[in-house]
Structure 1
Amino acid sequence: MFKKAVILMIMSALAFALLNVFVKKLTHFNVYQIVFFRSIGSLFFTLPFLMHKKISILGNEKFLLLSRGFIGFVAMTLFFMSLKHLSMGASVSIRYISPIFAALFALILLKERVKHLQWFCFAIALSGVFILKGFNIEVNSYGIFYALLSAVFTGLVFIIIRKIGNKDHPIVVVNYFMIIAALFGGVLAISNWQNPVGIEWVILLSLGVFGYFGQYYMTKAFQIGEVNQIAPLKYIEVIFTMLIGVIWLAETYTIIGLLGISLILGGLILNFMVKRRSSFDKNSKTKMN
């Protein structure tokens, strides 16, 4: 089962990486139009699934679901905006510091404790962001700002999803997100709408397909594999994105840029290991008692 979970996680990372690459390829389109097509594409999968399984589309925690949808829309829009200004590797890496903001929100809103060692891990990750910008004048400040703000809103999304818990089916949560993103993205795109031509239709509609299967494969991987073994593999998305960007879009990375990205990923992986160890110790004490 572990081998299958690893394969599924790699497939998920590849799907998300291709999504990132295609968004980067479509930067001549208005960002809201990209959000609209990204959302519409996924709705082709989520709505039939809910109808087939006879699961209520409205869900139970309506306020939280609406909040998750709107905040998720803002986070996704900001991330796509960052791709217009930064290399894909930098954008994706910075977006992944969202667990730091999730921990801060959990500390403030849920009164959850953050271990001292976790703060050290967060400092390592954030130092990567500062190195990425501070020592690299070619890195766009707007791109860094959009990516960081996207990570903040994504961190808040994690807290809302935690509050929803098992009260609603995961696909109901995703479906709300996609409907709200499609509505807001579609309306905001009207004034700057650009009709796709030829293959652009395929690329735009494929965004939702890659997004859906990236999420689906990741969920399946977590269902059949142990979280502490599978979760770190999600960062392969950064590597896939960078490799495809270098080969297909001729993106380049400086030594300083690679160092910054490495520190971001290293800090996040260390944080995960600290949390895993803390959870293991807590479970061990519970069993002894």
Structure 2
Amino acid sequence: MSPPHSDENVPENAPEHCPGTESDQAGKASACAGCPNQNVCATAPKGPDPAIPLITARMSSVKHKILILSGKGGVGKSSFTSQLAFALAHDEESEVGVMDVDICGPSIPTIMGLEGEQIHQSNSGWQPVFVQENLGVMSIGFMLPNKDDAVIWRGPKKNGLIKQFLKDVDWGNLDYLLVDTPPGTSDEHLSVASYLKESGIDGAIVITTPQEVALQDVRKEIDFCRKVNIPILGIVENMSGFVCPNCHGESVIFPPTSGGAEKLAKELNIELLGKIPLDPRIAKSCDMGVSFMDEHPDSPASSAYEAIIDSKFFFYI
């Protein structure tokens, strides 16, 4: 299935910082200068996005919407999202969905064992690809003719696909919808926050690693959440030490020179949900598309995942 065209009224050749036709600045902003569509955008109808009520209606059957965020790339957002989804789906009475909005780097299909699968349509909309009966996934990775194809899209087209994931996918009755995001605080994050504003976001789990270079970007992500009014459920410190699979001895790989996530959580008055040690078998499980907790239930990393799920934030939401 080829990637769908954005249903936003924004041309594919729009400038990178295009304000969109709904904006009062459409055709007037500095980014519009020289754009061949400047006059069209300036005269297009303005007003609320008509897709918002459709998204709100679709999301009314989703109990809890949780964003997985980090300002930093490579800290394990997707691996955490997948393992959290697997763990939540252990409860056969829970319905879980994963929405991958990392448009340019979709890794969720591989991590969840769905590589090569395709999306199917029905009268009720796009159908998620199911890992198991109570765990469905949606990603642009299912739409690419070749898994190595680059997605070279500007902001408006990315936003249009995210909008379609929210309003056109038949998620059904979900207990949890986990939204895996790319690094940064850009188009994808703003789109999700905007489109889900009326239906409500339960909160964000912020992922970091212990070293200061990661914490610097995570501070920006936390500031983003506070500026757009996304509640922060807590911080997870990933790769928090290395655990030997044989002797279970632990070594520090990423030194927390500035105090790590624990100090950051105290400084910003945010809950520290847990610390997940670095176990090389997590990477192997992600490459194989299986649940790490099922494969290695005795690992300290599995215990850390279980403690996060059992933490009070799940009872709070």
Bin for the TM-score computed over the shorter chain:
under 0.3
Instruction: Say which structure is richer in strand.
Output: 2
TM-score (norm 2): 0.23
- Higher-Rg structure is 2
Q: Considering Cα pairs closer than 8 Å and 6+ residues apart, tell me whether 1 or 2 has the greater RCO.
A: 1
TM-score (norm 1): 0.25
Instruction: Say which structure is richer in helix.
Output: 1
